[in-house]
Every structure is written in C-alpha cells, then in structure tokens.
C-alpha cells in the first residue's frame, strides 16, 4: 500500500498548505508512475510524534512490510529530530519506505543520504523551537502593551479599535 501524509500546525491559517502538499505528492507520484491508496492529514504541531497524532496513529497501525509513506517535505512529516530518527529506524526493520518528495526515500538512503536527512531534521526542530520562542516574546510584548492576544477577553475589558484592551 502507498500512503500519503500531510500535516500543518493548528496555527497555520487556511488550507492552502495541505493543498500545496497534496499537489507536490501528486506530481511526485505521476513522475514515479505510482498511485496513492490512502491519504492522511493531521492538524498538529510538527514537534508531536507521529504515533501521538490522530491520523498518524492510524497510519502507524496500518503499516506492513513493503508499504510506502509519501510526504511532501521532511518538516511536514516531523519537526522532532528524535521522533523522525526513531521512525526511520523502525521503518528500516519493517521494510517500509518513507519518501519525501524533495529528498527521495530516506529509509534506504546510503550513508551520505542518511547524514543529510538527519541534518535537515535537526534544522527543522531548531526552526520549530525558534518560532515558538518568537511567538512567546511577541505575546509577552502584546500583554505588556495591554493588546488583545486572542482567546477570551479579560473580565472588565473590551477590545478597542486599535486592538488595545479598554476597561469597561
């Protein structure tokens, strides 16, 4: 069986990310003359391990020897270095292919290919963590400036025209 896997975080707006991933996978499959049997989509942080995701867990349980997972890019599969490395080692034992449209099959990669995807995985995890830190700093700055930061409005406040929290 050939499975496609797409992921975007809940913070990403719209569904264009999923559409773009599907198009990349479709183009890869057309070039390789293969067809996807089943599609999986998760809306979760890339730092979450595959088995901890709703659709990722279902996909993991379906995998059998000779199956293939196709993902548009490494960061769409995982932004967790340990999780990706663990999955690749598991797939090697199971003889399951993990294909990224821009890298190819990382499970059966030679030693140089193995190092390359591991470096990309580390960079992807670093990027996820740096984004999280930036988001925290922006949120703290907005709170200090008494700007609305999303969610429920504090009791006794309304949102002003400029996004400021205004006392009622």
Q: pLDDT for 154-168, tens place per residue?
A: 677 777 777 777 777
Provide the whole-model pTM: 0.68
pLDDT of res. 121: 63
Q: Residue 132 and residue 145: Cα distance in Å, rounded?
A: 20
At 133-152, the pLDDT tens digits run 767 777 777 777 777 666 67
Residue 117 pLDDT exceeds 70 = no
What kind and span of H or E run contains 115? Answer: helix 111-144
Residue 108 pLDDT exceeds 90 = no
Residue 55 pLDDT exceeds 60 = yes
Q: Residue 15 and residue 71: Cα distance in Å, rounded?
A: 16
Q: Is 44 helix (H, G, I), strand (E, B) or coil?
A: coil
């Amino acid at each position: 069986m050939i499975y496609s896997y797409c992921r975007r975080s809940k913070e990403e707006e719209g569904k264009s990310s999923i559409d773009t991933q599907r198009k990349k996978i479709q183009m890869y499959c057309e070039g390789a003359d293969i067809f996807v049997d089943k599609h999986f989509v998760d809306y979760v942080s890339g730092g979450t391990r595959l088995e901890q995701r709703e659709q990722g867990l279902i996909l993991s349980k379906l995998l059998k020897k000779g199956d293939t997972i196709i993902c548009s890019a490494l960061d769409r599969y995982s932004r967790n270095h340990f999780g990706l490395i663990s999955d690749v080692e598991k797939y090697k034992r199971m003889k399951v292919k993990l294909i990224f449209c821009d890298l190819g099959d990382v499970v059966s990669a030679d030693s140089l290919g193995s190092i390359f995807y591991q470096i990309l995985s580390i960079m992807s995890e670093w990027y996820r963590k740096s984004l999280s830190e930036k988001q925290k700093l922006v949120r703290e700055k907005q709170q200090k400036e008494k700007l609305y930061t999303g969610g429920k409005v504090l009791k006794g406040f309304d949102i002003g025209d400029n996004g400021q929290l205004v006392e009622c």
